[in-house]
Amino acid sequence: GHLFVFRGRRGDLLKIIWWDTQGACLFMKRLEKGRFVWPAAKDGKVHLTAAQLSMLLEGIDWRTPQRTWRPTQAG
């Protein structure tokens, strides 16, 4: 299926619309701090992988993902 993702003017709000078998569904998320990293659109369309969409929804810069925490020892 297709998802239609829209970002608010300030960049801290995302809305996603998709169609399930019964009707249209709306998901909205607002970040308390920071902004969503928005991909550059060519021809008005952007194609994202599931991993890129997941990072976008978490507020992670999906272009250059970096770990913020690394374990000091295993086991």
The 3-state secondary structure of 24-39, one letter per residue: EEEEEEECCCCCCCCC
Residues spanned by the domain of 25:
3-58
Q: Does a structural domain hold residue 75?
A: no
Predicted pLDDT of residue 16: 93
Q: Does a structural domain hold residue 40?
A: yes
| Residue pair 58/51 in contact by the 8 Å Cβ criterion | no
Number of domains the chain is built from = 1
Token pair, residue 19, equals 């169609």
- The Cα 42–Cα 39 span in angstroms is 9
**Mean pLDDT per 10-residue segment, the chain (75 residues):** 86 91 92 83 82 84 68 68
Predicted pLDDT of residue 69: 61
Q: Does a structural domain hold residue 71?
A: no
Q: Does a structural domain hold residue 43?
A: yes
Q: Does a structural domain hold residue 16?
A: yes
Predicted pLDDT of residue 72: 72
Q: Does a structural domain hold residue 66?
A: no
